[in-house]
Amino acid sequence: MAMKFLLTCFLLGITFCLGSPVSQSSNCQDGYMDRVCGEDETHLWLDIVAVVDNSKGMTDKGVVTVAGQIVSLFVDGQQLGIDPNQPRTTRIGIVTYNRDATVVADLNKITSIDQLADIVFGALHKASSIADSYLHAGLEAADDLLQRQSFATSRGHYKKLVIVYASEYSGTGTQDPLPLATRMKVDVAIATVAYGQDNVNGFLRQLSQIATPGYNFTNQNGIQLVPELRATMVQVNCYCPNQWFQMRQSYSDESSLKYGVCIHPVTLGATRTAAKLSCRNQWNNAYMINEYTQTKHDFTLQVIENITAFTQPYTYYIGLSYSNGNWQWEQPNGQPLAQLQTWSDWCPGYPTASSTDTAVVNVQSSSSSAKTCWQNTKSSLTNMYVCEVATCDSTNYCTAEKI
């Protein structure tokens, strides 16, 4: 519920005025906000496998409910299957499991919502009479589908999501699902939905360990479950390539809301002009980073603190400079610069009045603290720098060649 609420508030542009925990970022005063993940749910481009427990413990009512929830994820015009003229499509495979797993539909079978409904309700109209429920078998079948039909194909750069619907957590030794889930989560997001209403033998805790952080849900959420899973799909379909760091609400909390912003600190020194040109030649026509908010400023610094090539005292260029009588932020090539608004982080005594000190660096303000602040300086000086670019997401398709 929390993820969907935050995402909705972001899209309405009112999140930071509601007194929620994220209000501390001061975005209300800034007049502009950092880019959110693309929220066009009709143009998600994912490969998804739904892994459904159909053992006796799920009950007939449970499996029918799951069938309806799966279909509901795709009732608003999402493009299913593969369309050579539209790369932003989603494929969904269906796996059921109890003692063993059955691939009901592989990733290439379902091409329409009607076909999805027929297959899902046909497979999940009643629970099995088998009491055993081994999630390992279901995950193994999903992993095999993704390895054969997604990773090794032209859709290899598409993000992968496994949605698990489970009534219990069983299996030890080779049937323990956790080692397999841990390995899969290197390249695959896993969402879990618990159908056990009682936390028998720590079921909810154990199942949450299978999930990617922040993607564990329970069916007790009722009508909120589908919106939560859709929000999860939006977040999974929002990512950066290797060597880029995706901004999120909290650096220390991997499950916090992700922004549609990628950050790349560059550890080679350059003049300000060279840094600007270097960023534009990085991935997808990037640009020098703008620090609209305290949240972004702090997140960037925390990224830099964890890169060994950046040594204290920190000094690095950001995308703020003095031009045409104003302090202005860099923007994507071809877009006008954005004038500095309310939030700023100038060091005491800055900015100085100088016709030559037109570039801005973040400078570590104290040897006893990693905290940084802005100073204006000469653009001819050599410093490390930070680049920024939009994520790949539902409103910004990235080809494999661009990733």
* CATH code at position 364: 3.10.100.10
Residue-wise pLDDT for 349-393, tens only, equals 999 988 899 999 999 987 778 899 999 999 999 999 999 999 999
**Can you give the CATH number for the domain in which 134 is found?**
3.40.50.410
CA distance 135 to 52: 9
370/336 same-domain check: yes
Q: Is residue 374 part of a domain?
A: yes
Q: Is residue 180 part of a domain?
A: yes
Q: Is residue 257 part of a domain?
A: yes
Q: Is residue 27 part of a domain?
A: no
> What value does the mean pLDDT take over residues 229-249?
95
Residue-wise pLDDT for 35-55, tens only, equals 999 999 999 999 999 999 999
pLDDT of residue 381: 97
pLDDT of residue 70: 97
67/201 same-domain check: yes
> What value does the mean pLDDT take over residues 200-224?
87
- The number of beta carbons lying within 10 Å of the beta carbon of residue 152 is 10
Domain finish residue from 190, 213, 236: 236
pLDDT at 23 over 70: no
73/175 same-domain check: yes
- The number of beta carbons lying within 10 Å of the beta carbon of residue 400 is 11
Domain finish residue from 236, 258, 290: 236
pLDDT of residue 88: 96
pLDDT of residue 63: 96
Percent of the chain with pLDDT over 70: 91
pLDDT of residue 337: 94
CA distance 24 to 20: 8
334/362 same-domain check: yes
pLDDT of residue 15: 33
**Two tokens at 230?**
């859709």
- 127, 56 in Cβ contact below 8 A? yes
pLDDT of residue 283: 87
Bridge-based pairing state of the strands 315-323 and 326-329: antiparallel
Q: Is residue 122 part of a domain?
A: yes
Which letter, b or e, does each residue of 162-186 get, where b requires 16 or more Cβ atoms within 10 Å of its Cβ?
A: bbbbbbbbbbeeeeebeebbeebbe
Q: Which residues pair with 315 in a beta bridge?
A: 363
**Two tokens at 208?**
């949450």
219/254 same-domain check: no
Q: Rounded to whole angstroms, what are the CA distances from 21 to 17, 26, 31, 81?
A: 10, 11, 19, 39
pTM exceeds 0.75 for this model: yes
Q: Give phi and psi for 393, each to the nearest 5.
A: -160, -165
pLDDT at 221 over 90: no
- 260, 393 in Cβ contact below 8 A? yes
Helix axes 225-236, 2-12, angle to 10 degrees: 70
Q: Which residues contact 267 (CB under 8 A, 6 or more apart)?
A: 307, 309, 310, 384
DSSP, collapsed to helix, strand or coil, labels residue 160 as strand
Q: pLDDT band at 203, cuts 50/70/90? A: confident
Q: pLDDT band at 199, cuts 50/70/90? A: low
CA distance 257 to 15: 12
Closest CA to 121 of 59, 54, 80, 67: 67
Domain finish residue from 236, 263, 286: 236
Give the H or E element holding residue 372: strand 369-377
CA distance 184 to 151: 12
- 90, 48 in Cβ contact below 8 A? yes
CA distance 401 to 403: 6
- The number of beta carbons lying within 10 Å of the beta carbon of residue 297 is 22
pLDDT of residue 303: 97
Residue-wise pLDDT for 77-112, tens only, equals 889 999 999 999 999 999 999 999 999 999 999 999
CA 21 to chain CA mean position, Å: 19
263/114 same-domain check: no
357/316 same-domain check: yes
CA distance 231 to 263: 23
Q: Is residue 131 part of a domain?
A: yes
Closest CA to 168 of 135, 119, 145: 135
- 364, 314 in Cβ contact below 8 A? yes
Bridge-based pairing state of the strands 188-194 and 159-166: parallel
pLDDT of residue 27: 37
**Two tokens at 253?**
């909390």
pLDDT of residue 366: 78
Closest CA to 60 of 132, 127, 129: 127
Residue-wise pLDDT for 278-333, tens only, equals 999 988 889 999 999 999 999 999 999 999 999 999 999 999 999 889 999 999 98
225/137 same-domain check: yes
Q: Which residues pair with 105 in a beta bridge?
A: 94
231/258 same-domain check: no
pLDDT at 7 over 50: no
pLDDT at 334 over 80: yes
pLDDT of residue 302: 96
Count of domains for the chain: 2
Q: pLDDT band at 402, cuts 50/70/90? A: confident
Q: Is residue 6 part of a domain?
A: no
200/275 same-domain check: no
Q: pLDDT band at 198, cuts 50/70/90? A: low
Q: Is residue 149 part of a domain?
A: yes
278/188 same-domain check: no
382 lies in which domain range? 245-390
Percent of the chain with pLDDT over 90: 77
> What value does the mean pLDDT take over residues 207-224?
90
Q: pLDDT band at 31, cuts 50/70/90? A: low
Q: pLDDT band at 17, cuts 50/70/90? A: very low
Closest CA to 4 of 211, 254, 193, 215: 215
212/306 same-domain check: no
CA distance 208 to 215: 8
CA distance 272 to 276: 6
Q: pLDDT band at 5, cuts 50/70/90? A: very low
Q: pLDDT band at 121, cuts 50/70/90? A: very high
